Structure 1
């Protein structure tokens, strides 16, 4: 079988491909670095994360092998295509076979979406389209190292508290388009920083931390004022807690904030497409093997059925009083 889970005998290949990694998960790349580094491999021991890494080896070694990995955080309902490691002479059919294998594994975890973040000028962009991925939104990563933190903050930033969660979720529903809410899920925990006017929370910033840096995910209400000053104050707060680089992920539905970042001196990265491949639940067979949390060396589980995510049928009941009740 040309595509299989990675095992210990493949470690020399992993070492050779460290410099050929194409990251498709910006948060993991910016906060944890190269997914094939030793530090990243050790993170796979975290029980709150699922990891799976596969290798495609062509029959009769006609082409160099290809590597790819997927991840799923405990609180997420989707899986992420973490990286691909390709040779310069890879075959298109080999890459498509690897992507199909990784999609099958993601489906065996019970998720309904596989996400990838790819530069729109990358040669992977058309390949992911051929593999069944579609563009749902765009984003740009901004480096904030060029912005001077405020010396004396004027706006009150504080760590989000559990009682802030309903307001944060309301802000999310106001800002994130409905089409994207299935793949960009609503926060389920009050983690990050909030800035309120005393009554309502107008700005929430999710904070993703790692040994390589910090990545911010802002949700800013259009009625919020003094955004530039508020961001400088936030950097002042973060500079006392983290010594690494700070980046900000700006999604296309908040692109109106980009001129503010530019004027502050932030450095814009290339535009990235947020691509999604839709899955359905896997068929569970009695004898099917179930992959463990990493177990990056485990066998892939039962294949999935590909579909267009058709919703379950609607049942209709007509009670004696003549009214019609609809429910799923």
Structure 2
């Protein structure tokens, strides 16, 4: 696929500009940057030849109005006020009794108390671990299709407004060794690594030597990378805190955001998925929302965390405990949004393994 085919139209370019215009003093710690759109904008401004490829960059969290989740727009907040609503999850040990490095990370350590959030996440983890592991070969792709809608601002309108929901498809190379593909709003964008990002011995001018992800990390994983993660929740959470130290709005919120990113547009082995859920149960401030709605209008129970007036919700089917999507909801009035306002909404429609970028797959989970 040529770079010419992948470049955004003027309308898409303007949308990206709107998504990226955020006042510098804003602090929206819970937001995940939709890195592919950000990169599209920067690539459209880059001077380069027809052969310039689009670089697959880490999913950094930046101070932006665009909130990456996975589904279409929802007009109103539907949150039940039953007994489990928004009860905080706390670690058993107090910060004073915890190890110094655990206190510095913001986590009390020492295990988790039996709260609504920890009980729910343990149930979700048990179900996730029981699912059969997909058969995955190098050269294949993790395929995720979703409906998404994100908030945006402009210089003339500081109020966040939710865009219209639209379909989003992405193909990630299983081993990172081939170009991936993003298909959104009628455009195909090839996801590759630029030669300067490769080790010297791997650099070549040929297209076949431009993989999607030459150096996978927590913020930019491949399926093979996820296979290598610890399945012990405590060890996994320690790794997340360690590798994300100094980034984002704070260690606990950054850990929650990192786990959400790993769950949303990737496919993890069952035992790793279970470990991620149990690791999330150890993050202070995790709560339960008894009724939430994804972008497809599906109701479910949510695991949530609130930071800086915004609540980020991971939504699960109440019966099967399958991950449905995510939602961002303001819980406080601010200069750019009102309490109850939806800041982002997504719904995962299919997730599986594909033999070829651009082709759909059989559902994996």
Bigger Rg over Cα: 1
Structure with the larger strand share? 1
Does the TM-score normalized on the shorter chain lie above 0.5? no
TM-score by length of 2: 0.26
TM-score by length of 1: 0.28
